[in-house]
């Protein structure tokens, strides 16, 4: 009898544990579906915005596209985007979609009047801290209101309380600054907004904020009608896209730099973690110049980072980026790029060379510099079927090896006699730099280019990315949570 009881208790415990595991797995599936939904929504918004890149860039047109898409994506009855007026710091509605409530009004008559004609809201100015909109502007944090009647943050107004059942307010934030506030009101049907809707709106609002920031910069330049300032802003925005920190991983060294030319070419490099064992890295050169080139590079960066987590195949990731470029840009836009994934456990580097300069690898045990140049076509030039011809290769990096990736501005730098620096001189310098650190190699190459050109102005950006292998096996001895860190670069 006692044995039977023990068996029953054990069986009950096992069933309970199975139920817990099932619940956890179900929760993870829900989170994964939510993350996938957010990613697809952001990429779709990028598609919508990308259609405007090759035509006239207009803030109001862009805001209309953003508002229309976000209201539909969140299944809202109405929505509005408020933008900060830099002259006085107040919020002003730029686009109103549907029967949007005047959340800053207190008098019932005023509320009813603006409900009947939402365009009147555009004439109002909302100060920081004024009402629920001003609160989000002031604090820079999103708000989810599911019970307006009992939420002290919502205005105590009978007309509003009878019309608003739930709403979400999200700040449009860029580099710590709030550019505006996006609001959606009343989810279609009987359901209220929930935390999933809040997460989706935050993801979309983040992308919208970057777009609004770029378009506002462009508007300023258009008003001033000065090419020099356009190039300066394009350069500043290009620098914003580049990582300010480099990975710090035991067993490896990383360093990169980009020195802009007088005419901004749109060079780009990037490092980002895919998972605890894989680090993505990229170096690229966009064909466009100025603001259009910077916008296209921003779009490519967003798509690359969004697609990178779906697969550990660099070729598949770039195939998706190529497809997006073909859809969203004009025919004469293309980008050369190397995109690779470094396996931190064993030092294996897999990469695709999409029309870019060859990868150079300096081996510690010889004076040989290996040029790795798999076949590859630049992004944005050919159909997905032809892009499949691009080769994906894998190289094994060993202790003491150094990898250098660079843009064509390095080897095409010219001296006073219009002679190019050339790949041969670059390789010769690497041969004499054995056992040097990644940062030292990059700085030595840059110094040699400056010595070669003797002050002749650059005609293209100079960008380099280096990986030094100290001991790839050391990465296995680092805890999963501390394996990838970041250090400041220059």
pLDDT in tens, 385-402: 999 999 999 999 999 899
The answer to whether residue 8 sits within a structural domain is no
Together in a domain, 194 and 339: no
Together in a domain, 363 and 274: yes
The answer to whether residue 26 sits within a structural domain is no
Mean residue pLDDT across the chain = 80
Does position 222 have pLDDT exceeding 80, yes or no? no
Residue 30: the pLDDT is: 47
The answer to whether residue 429 sits within a structural domain is yes
Tell me how far apart the alpha carbons of residues 355 and 423 are, in angstroms, rounded to a whole number: 16
Task: Give the CATH number of the domain where residue 436 resides.
Answer: 3.60.40.10
Together in a domain, 424 and 386: yes
Does position 55 have pLDDT exceeding 70, yes or no? no
Tell me how far apart the alpha carbons of residues 319 and 380 are, in angstroms, rounded to a whole number: 10
The answer to whether residue 14 sits within a structural domain is no
Q: How confident is the model at residue 490 (pLDDT cuts 50, 70, 90)?
A: very low
Residues with Cβ within 8 Å of 41's Cβ and at least 6 positions away in sequence, in order, are 73, 200, 203, 204
Residue 49: the pLDDT is: 61
Tell me how far apart the alpha carbons of residues 257 and 450 are, in angstroms, rounded to a whole number: 15
Together in a domain, 320 and 187: no
Together in a domain, 249 and 344: yes
The answer to whether residue 23 sits within a structural domain is no
Residue 245: the pLDDT is: 84
Structure tokens at 190: 């009987």
Which range of residues forms the domain containing residue 368? 243-488
Which residues are registered as beta bridge partners of 188? none
Residue 131: the pLDDT is: 87
For range 48-56, the mean pLDDT: 55
> Which of residues 410 and 226 earns the better pLDDT score?
410
Does position 306 have pLDDT exceeding 70, yes or no? yes
Together in a domain, 204 and 298: no
End position of a domain, from candidates 186, 221, 256: 221
Together in a domain, 315 and 452: yes
> Which of residues 189 and 443 earns the better pLDDT score?
443
Does position 109 have pLDDT exceeding 70, yes or no? no
Half-sphere exposure of 397 (CA within 13 A, CB side): 33
- Considering only CA atoms, which of 242, 182, 245 is closest in space to residue 211? 182
End position of a domain, from candidates 157, 191, 221: 221
Q: How confident is the model at residue 473 (pLDDT cuts 50, 70, 90)?
A: low
For range 48-66, the mean pLDDT: 68
Half-sphere exposure of 163 (CA within 13 A, CB side): 21
For range 205-218, the mean pLDDT: 78
The answer to whether residue 10 sits within a structural domain is no
Q: Residue 282 in contact with residue 337, Cβ under 8 Å?
A: yes
Tell me how far apart the alpha carbons of residues 287 and 295 are, in angstroms, rounded to a whole number: 12
Together in a domain, 402 and 345: yes
Q: How confident is the model at residue 370 (pLDDT cuts 50, 70, 90)?
A: very high
The answer to whether residue 24 sits within a structural domain is no
End position of a domain, from candidates 221, 253, 286: 221
3-state secondary structure labels for all residues of the chain: CHHHHHHHHHHHHHHHHHHHHHHHHHHHHHHHHHHHHHHHHHHHHHHHHHHHHCCCCCHHHHHHHHHHHHHHHCCEEEEEEEEEECCCCEEEEEEEECCCCCCCCCCHHHHHHHHHCHHHHHHCCECCCCHHHHHHHHHCCCEEECCHHHCCCCCCCHHHHHHCCCEEEEEEEECCEEEEEEEEEEECCCCCCCHHHHHHHHHHHHHHHHHHHHHHHHHHHHHHCCHHHHHHHHHHHHHHHCCCEEEECCCEEEEEEEECCCCCCCEEEEEEEEECCEEEEEEEEECCCHHHHHHHHHHHHHHHHHHHCCCCCHHHHHHHHHHHHHHHCCCCCCEEEEEEEEECCCCEEEEEEECCCCEEEECCCCCCEEEECCCCCCECCCCHHHHCCCCEEEEECCCCCEEEEECHHHHCCECCCCCECCHHHHHHHHHCCCCCCHHHHHHHHHHHHHHHHCCCCCCCCEEEEEEEECCHHHHHHCCCCCCCEEEECC
Please say whether the dihedral angle defined by the alpha carbons of residues 222, 227, 232 and 237, taken in this order, is positive or negative. Answer: positive
Distances in whole angstroms, Cα of residue 87 to Cα of each of 26, 83, 90, 266: 50, 12, 8, 31
Mean pLDDT check: name the lowest of 146-160, 162-176, 302-316. Answer: 146-160
Structure tokens at 302: 């967003």
Together in a domain, 247 and 217: no
The tally of domains found in the chain comes to 2
For range 158-166, the mean pLDDT: 82
Task: Give the CATH number of the domain where residue 144 resides.
Answer: 3.30.450.40
Together in a domain, 191 and 255: no
Together in a domain, 202 and 340: no
Together in a domain, 250 and 345: yes
For range 310-330, the mean pLDDT: 89
The answer to whether residue 16 sits within a structural domain is no
Residue 317: the pLDDT is: 95
């Amino acid at each position: 009898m006692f044995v039977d009881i023990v068996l029953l208790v054990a069986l009950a415990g096992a069933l309970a544990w199975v139920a817990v595991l099932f619940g956890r797995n179900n929760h993870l599936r829900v989170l994964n579906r939510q993350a996938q939904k957010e990613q697809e929504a952001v990429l779709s918004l990028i598609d919508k915005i990308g259609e405007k890149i090759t035509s006239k860039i207009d803030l109001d047109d862009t805001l209309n596209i953003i508002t229309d898409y976000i209201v539909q994506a969140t299944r809202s009855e109405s929505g509005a985007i408020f933008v900060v007026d830099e002259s006085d710091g107040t919020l002003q509605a730029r686009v109103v979609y549907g029967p949007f409530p005047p959340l800053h009004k207190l008098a019932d008559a005023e509320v009813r009047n603006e409900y009947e004609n939402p365009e009147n809201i555009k004439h109002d100015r909302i100060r920081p801290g004024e009402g629920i909109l001003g609160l989000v502007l002031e604090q820079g944090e999103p708000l989810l209101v599911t019970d307006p009647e009992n939420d002290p943050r919502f205005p105590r107004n009978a007309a509003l309380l009878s019309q608003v059942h739930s709403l979400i307010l999200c700040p449009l934030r860029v580099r710590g600054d709030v550019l505006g506030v996006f609001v959606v009101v009343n989810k279609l049907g009987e359901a209220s907004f929930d935390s999933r809707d809040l997460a989706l709106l935050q993801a979309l609002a983040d992308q919208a904020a970057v777009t609004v920031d770029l378009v506002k910069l462009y508007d300023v330049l258009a008003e001033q009608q000065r090419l020099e300032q356009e190039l300066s802003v394009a350069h500043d925005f290009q620098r914003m896209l580049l990582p300010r920190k480099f990975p710090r991983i035991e067993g490896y060294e990383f360093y990169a730099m980009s020195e802009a030319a007088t005419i901004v070419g749109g060079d780009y490099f990037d490092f980002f973690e895919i998972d605890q064992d894989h680090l993505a890295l990229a170096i690229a050169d966009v064909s466009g110049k100025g603001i259009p080139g910077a916008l296209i590079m921003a779009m490519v960066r967003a798509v690359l980072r969004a697609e990178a987590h779906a697969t550990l195949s660099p070729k598949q990731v770039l195939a998706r980026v190529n497809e997006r470029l073909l859809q969203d840009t004009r025919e004469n836009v293309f980008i050369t790029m190397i995109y690779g994934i470094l396996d931190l456990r064993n030092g294996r580097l897999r990469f695709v060379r999409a029309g870019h300069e060859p990868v150079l690898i300096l081996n510690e045990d010889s004076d040989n510099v290996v040029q790795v140049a798999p076949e590859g076509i630049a992004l944005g030039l050919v159909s997905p079927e032809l892009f499949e011809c691009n080769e994906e290769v894998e190289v094994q990096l060993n202790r003491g090896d150094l990898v250098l990736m660079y843009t064509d501005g390095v080897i095409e730098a010219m001296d006073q006699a219009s002679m190019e620096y050339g790949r041969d001189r670059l390789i010769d310098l690497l041969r004499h730099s054995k056992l040097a650190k990644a940062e030292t190699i990059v700085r030595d190459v840059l110094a040699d280019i400056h010595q070669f050109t003797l002050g002749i102005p650059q005609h293209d950006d100079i960008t380099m990315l280096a990986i030094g292998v100290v001991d790839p096996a050391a990465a296995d001895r680092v805890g999963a949570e501390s394996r990838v860190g970041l250090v400041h670069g220059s």
